[in-house]
């Protein structure tokens, strides 16, 4: 079955080049009307120009699609609100939001400034929050929404020199986990993309041969799937060079310790049982941990008292 977006309106942030451009063009090819959002700055977030966004609009129009350019800085909520209004005034709905905009200020934690740290959080994390917030009520009212947040292996697993970027990229996972719960009854689904691509943000960081394989076009199918009507929900889909995988946050079953063992020494002595992967699970909500722990305690205390 062919996935199409006929009659759907999409906003793609950071769509002037790289991954965002690829996502936007492919959405348009499949029938979506697309807002091409791009501040047009350098990779570190400085500067600004509408040239890149207008170029993508021209490409989409040449293919027979519909698109408009928008230069909102996703870190500024008033600009994001104006972007959403522009889309609503033109097309009357917003079905798809792809949060892709980002900047880099890579430096080791010791050498990096707090100003840079804040700026990266503002663009990646608050930028995602701002765009999602501005679309949320619209999606709730129309009882339909597909949102993608962009995470990264740097956030999921860490990467030297990227404490700021990694913090922001893990932050969007926390945002997704709760939005999924709050959006469920309104048919709003939220997923995360963890891409590996050869873009200006990774240029010089990976060997040329690998860079050639890691095209944005090999990542985009993951986004197209995650914003389709039959999309998954609360999924971290990793993509790069034509390969796809799922990242999961799991919790070990753990162990309950008797009151006399509830000490640092007791934890050390029972470390093997606490960390054993046997019976590990994928919690769907925070309270599940509470239920599990209290259940273990009741069971353990019962056995202790019998």
Residue 40: the pLDDT is 76
pLDDT digits (tens, 9 = 90+) for 176-191: 999 999 999 999 999 9
165, 186, 225, 244: the active-site residue: 165
Nearest partner of 177 among 190, 164, 167, 165, judged by Cα: 190
pTM of the complete model: 0.94
**Phi and psi of 47, rounded to 5°?**
80, -175
Count CA atoms within 13 Å of residue 128 on its CB side: 28
Q: Which residue ranges form the domains of the chain, and what is each CATH number?
A: 9-247 (3.40.50.720), 259-305 (no CATH)
Distance in angstroms (rounded) separating the CA atoms of residues 291 and 277: 19
Distance, CA of 63 to CA of 298 (rounded, Å):
64
Residue 244 annotated in active site: no
Per-residue confidence (pLDDT) for residue 198, from 0 to 100: 64
- Cβ-in-10-Å burial (0-12, 13-18, 19+) of 114 comes to exposed
Q: DSSP letter for 186, please.
A: G
Segments of the chain scoring below 70 in pLDDT:
41, 44, 46-49, 198-204, 306
Q: Write out pLDDT tens, residues 67-101.
A: 999 999 999 999 999 999 999 999 999 999 999 99
Per-residue pLDDT tens digits for 151-175:
999 999 999 999 999 999 999 999 9
């Amino acid at each position: 079955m062919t996935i199409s977006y006929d009659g759907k309106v999409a906003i793609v942030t950071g769509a002037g080049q790289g991954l965002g451009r690829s996502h936007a063009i492919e959405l348009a090819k499949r029938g979506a009307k697309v807002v091409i959002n791009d501040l047009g700055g350098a990779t570190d977030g400085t500067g600004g120009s509408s040239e890149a966004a207008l170029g993508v609009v021209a490409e989409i129009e040449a293919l027979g699609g519909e698109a408009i350019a928008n230069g909102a800085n996703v870190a500024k909520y008033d600009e994001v609100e104006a972007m959403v209004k522009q889309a609503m005034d033109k097309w009357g709905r917003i079905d798809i939001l792809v949060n892709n905009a980002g900047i880099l200020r890579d430096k080791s934690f010791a050498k990096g400034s707090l100003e840079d740290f804040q700026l990266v959080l503002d663009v990646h994390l608050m930028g995602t929050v701002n765009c999602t917030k501005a679309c949320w009520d619209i999606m709730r009212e129309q009882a339909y929404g597909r949102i993608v947040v962009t995470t990264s292996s740097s956030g999921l697993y860490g990467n030297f020199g990227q404490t700021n970027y990694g913090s922001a990229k893990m932050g969007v996972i926390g945002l997704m986990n709760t939005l999924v719960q709050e959006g469920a009854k309104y048919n709003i689904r939220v997923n995360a993309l963890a891409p590996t691509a050869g873009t200006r943000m990774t240029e010089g960081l990976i060997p040329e041969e690998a860079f050639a394989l890691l095209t944005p076009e090999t990542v985009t199918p993951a986004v197209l799937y995650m914003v389709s009507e039959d999309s998954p929900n609360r999924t971290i889909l990793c993509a790069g060079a034509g390969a796809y995988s799922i990242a999961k946050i799991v919790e070990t079953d753990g162990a309950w310790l008797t009151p006399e063992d509830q000490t640092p020494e007791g934890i050390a002595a029972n470390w093997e049982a606490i960390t054993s992967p046997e019976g590990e699970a994928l919690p769907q909500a925070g309270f599940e941990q509470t239920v599990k722990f209290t259940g273990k305690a009741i069971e353990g205390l019962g056995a202790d008292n019998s």
